[in-house]
């Protein structure tokens, strides 16, 4: 594969899209290689880079199966269970705390 075409930010020709843009259209790259890239210059650091894929080679997003929905629901439920007290916190446990706020700040909840 040769060098990728590089376009300035917001100046890519029609027919190219980022992963997010493909997803918004209900598409996925579908195994194709990156076709081009966008570069947005920055003052003190290297440029921001976004990879582009060809829209005509993109494939439809695979639909969620009942098993995938069930696995996703189970994973999201597990993120709500406090490892300290074992209760459902009613919200996703912050990774910065690693436990529910009641367990992380026991003095404040007693007041």
Does residue 76 contact residue 88 with C-beta atoms inside 8 Å? no
Q: 1-43: per-residue pLDDT in tens?
A: 568 999 999 899 999 999 999 999 999 999 999 999 999 999 9
Mean pLDDT of 55-68: 96
Query: Residues 27, 3, 50, CA angle at the centre, nearest 5°?
Result: 40
**Domain segments of the chain: what residues?**
6-60, 66-110
Q: How confident is the model at residue 107, as a pLDDT?
A: 82
pTM of the model as a whole: 0.67
Q: How confident is the model at residue 2, as a pLDDT?
A: 65
Burial 18-47 (b: 16+ CB within 10 A, else e): beebbeeeebbbeeeeebbbbeeeeeeeee
Q: How confident is the model at residue 106, as a pLDDT?
A: 85
Write down the residue that tokens 């990728």 correspond to: 4
């Amino acid at each position: 594969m040769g060098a990728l075409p590089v376009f300035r930010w917001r100046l890519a020709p029609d027919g190219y899209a980022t992963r997010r843009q493909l997803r918004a259209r209900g598409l996925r790259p579908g195994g194709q290689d990156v076709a081009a890239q966008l570069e947005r210059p920055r003052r003190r650091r290297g440029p921001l880079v976004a990879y582009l894929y060809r829209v005509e080679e993109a494939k439809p997003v695979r639909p969620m199966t009942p098993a995938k929905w069930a696995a996703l629901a189970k994973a999201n439920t597990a993120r709500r269970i406090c490892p300290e007290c074992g209760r459902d916190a009613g919200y996703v446990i912050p990774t910065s705390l690693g436990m529910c706020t009641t367990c992380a700040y026991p003095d404040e909840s007693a007041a």
